Structure formats: C-alpha cells, structure tokens
C-alpha cells in the first residue's frame, strides 16, 4: 500500500522534514517551579516524539513579564537556555527537528505571576474575562496596564533577544506565537486594542508590532527558519474582532512579506469546534501567504491525509494525539489504534501522563 503524502518528506523554507506530521505546541506546566527551567524529564518527553516531521515546543515566555501560567518554561535566563539545550540535544540525538515557540501572554496573567507583583501589560487596560493557573488553582486574570508607546520597542527587543537565546539553546528555528489571545493577538484585534497611537486604531496600525517582531526575529534567524501561529476566528481568552478576515488578512500578508517559512492556523475555535463564523474563509486567508500552510485543530489521521492530498495543507499539527502517542508517525504509517490521553495529567505533575505512554511496540509486547 502506498504511504499517504502526509508521511512523505517536505522542504519547508530551510527545513528539510522527513514527514508532514507536526507536534503542535502543548502547554504541560512541567518546568522547574522555582526557575521556569526545562530539565531532564522535558528532554525525555520531547526526545520520545522526535519522529515528528517537526516539533514545536510548548509556548515559552520571552521575558518574566511575559509569563501567564505557573510552571511554564522561559527562554530569558542563562539557566533556561541551558535547560533547553538539554532538550534540543536529546531531540537531535534521535534525529529530530525542533523549533521554539516565542510567547508573551500580555493580559492573560495574574499579579502573583508577575515580577514584583506588578500588573500585566497589554495594548490597552482592558481586563480579559479569562482565567489562569497560579500554581494553586485557576484565578481570574488581573486587569492589565496599557503599554506606553515608547515601551513597545522594549517588547519587540524581548522577542529579538529570545530569538538569540533560542539559537544559543540549539533550536532549529522559532515560531512567533500570535494566537490564542496573547499579546500579539491582543494588539491585532479591535476588541482588546483601543489605542489611539501608531499601534492602534486602523488595521495597519494594529499590525505594526507584528511587523516589527518579524523584523526583529528575522534579524537573528533566516526567515526560512521562522513560522507564525494565528487563531483568526477563535474567541479563546475573551478575544473579539469586528472584521477578522480583513485583520488577519493584513497580518498574514505581513508574515508573507517577511518571507516566513510557514503559516500555522488554528482552524475554528482553539481546542474546540472547527466551524467558522459567517464570512470566515480559510482558503482566502491562506492565499495571502506565499510559504507553506500548517493546519491545526481537531485533526485525526484521515482528516489530515485528506487535507494534504487535496492541497488544503502542506503540514498538519497534532496536539492531543501527541500527548498520548510519542510514536504517532509510526501509528499513522500502520493505521494503528491510538492511545487515549488522560486529561487529568495534562497540566503539571511528573512522569505520569507525560513520559509513560507506551509506544505501539511496547503495547504489542505487553
């Protein structure tokens, strides 16, 4: 039987991938609590999944100010760079490829998670109707303060420095996280950005910080080793925009102009239904981008096979299937049954529900 195109090699920008199955970014809250440093358990987890065409790490805060959840990793200290180097070395030893997702949460944070208990920062001082995990439980996010115009250059430079740190840590590239209601998404959407300076008002102004971040990151990395993630129709983290097709059309055009390797879209609601709102058109958005298209949200094997065969997608990112199936590519190749993930162990904890899911060979030997 001929293997599906999903399992065939692909050249995406400067990435040479053995298959088109991508491990999606998955927050698992297992960095060291005291320092947000990745460690040996994280290295084992990612190395187990190195047969993916590409691994995108869990979202990783670029600065202490960018942290929004307990026990998530950073990329802003020497210790964190060293911890991530342990991860990349382990993945590369297994023949894998791994990129770091660059993350600033903006208003999706709590004062207890911020340096000196300060308010989170955001484009505008508008609280999100959302919750975050502070290490003890889920709490309402804190009201942010609006970034001053002259502070935004500092935020952009934090992305630049994080990109440098990712190179030092041995990554193969980076992904700019501009989805799911975090800071870049907050700037893009008119429901969270009510500024009246050059970073607010018109769509062109709201896209400005994104263009600046692309320029900063591609100063450090070849554009062919940079991707971007958007969630144009998702309401996750209390996000709203009156004209998502126009807003995200402009944002995607900016990514294309920057020459990025791939466009990674959440199709529908983050972690929810794939349905689009009236007027939502993924094909029209994809047409604004000259590079590869990575589809994400609720894909199973057959849906992914069909998406790649039809030309809808060049790559497909899988989230929950990768939690429970470290050998997902092999299972797809054999059309084998998948392990079911244990939702109780998704966030926080140790090896249970993290590195102890059996491979197909282990299951068959049992």
Active site members: 182
Instruction: Give how far Cα 71 sits from Cα of 187, 205, 280, 347, Å.
Output: 26, 34, 36, 9
Asked whether the beta carbons of 99 and 56 are under 8 A apart, the reply is yes
State how far the Cα of 284 lies from the Cα of 288, in Å rounded to an integer. 7
What number of residues does the chain have?
Answer: 366
Asked whether the beta carbons of 229 and 265 are under 8 A apart, the reply is yes
The 8 Å CB, 24+ separation contacts for 3-9 are: 3/333, 4/305, 4/308, 4/309, 5/305, 5/308, 5/309, 6/301, 6/304, 6/305, 6/308, 6/309, 6/316, 6/332, 7/329, 7/332, 7/333
Instruction: Give how far Cα 313 sits from Cα of 19, 167, 232, Å.
Output: 13, 28, 17
Could you please report the per-residue DSSP string of 63-98?
Answer: SGGG--STT--BSSSHHHHHHHHHHHHHHHHTT--E
């Amino acid at each position: 039987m001929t293997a599906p195109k999903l399992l065939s090699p692909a050249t995406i920008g400067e990435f040479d991938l053995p298959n088109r199955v991508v491990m999606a970014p998955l927050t698992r809250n297992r960095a060291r609590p005291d320092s947000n440093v990745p460690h040996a358990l994280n290295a084992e987890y990612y190395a187990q999944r190195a047969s993916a065409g590409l691994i995108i790490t869990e979202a990783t805060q670029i600065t202490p100010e960018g942290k929004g959840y307990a026990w998530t990793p950073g990329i802003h200290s020497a210790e964190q760079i060293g911890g991530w180097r342990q991860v990349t070395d382990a993945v590369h030893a297994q023949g894998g490829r791994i990129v770091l997702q660059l993350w600033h949460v903006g208003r999706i944070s709590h004062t207890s998670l911020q340096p000196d208990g300060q308010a989170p920062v955001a484009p505008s001082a508008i609280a999100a109707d959302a919750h975050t995990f502070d290490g003890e439980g889920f709490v309402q996010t804190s009201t942010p303060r609006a970034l001053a115009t002259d502070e935004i250059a500092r935020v952009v430079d934090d992305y630049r420095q994080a990109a440098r740190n990712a190179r030092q840590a041995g990554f193969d590239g980076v992904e700019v996280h501009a989805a799911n209601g975090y800071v870049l998404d907050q700037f893009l959407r008119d429901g969270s950005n009510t500024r009246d300076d050059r970073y607010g008002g018109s769509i062109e102004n709201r896209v400005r910080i994104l263009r600046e971040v692309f320029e900063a990151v591609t100063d450090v990395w070849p554009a062919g080793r940079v991707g971007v993630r958007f969630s144009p129709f998702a309401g996750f983290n209390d996000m709203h925009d009156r004209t998502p097709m126009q807003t995200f059309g402009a944002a995607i055009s900016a990514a294309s102009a920057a020459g990025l390797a791939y466009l990674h879209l959440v199709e529908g609601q983050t972690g929810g239904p794939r349905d689009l709102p009236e007027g939502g058109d993924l094909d029209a958005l994809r047409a604004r981008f000259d590079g590869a298209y990575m589809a994400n949200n609720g894909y199973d094997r057959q849906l992914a096979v069909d998406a790649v065969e039809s030309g809808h997608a060049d790559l497909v990112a899988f989230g929950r299937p990768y939690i429970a199936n470290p050998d997902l590519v092999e299972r797809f190749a054999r059309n084998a049954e998948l392990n079911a993930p244990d939702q109780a162990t998704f966030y926080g904890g140790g090896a249970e529900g993290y590195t102890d899911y059996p491979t197909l060979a282990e299951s068959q030997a049992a």
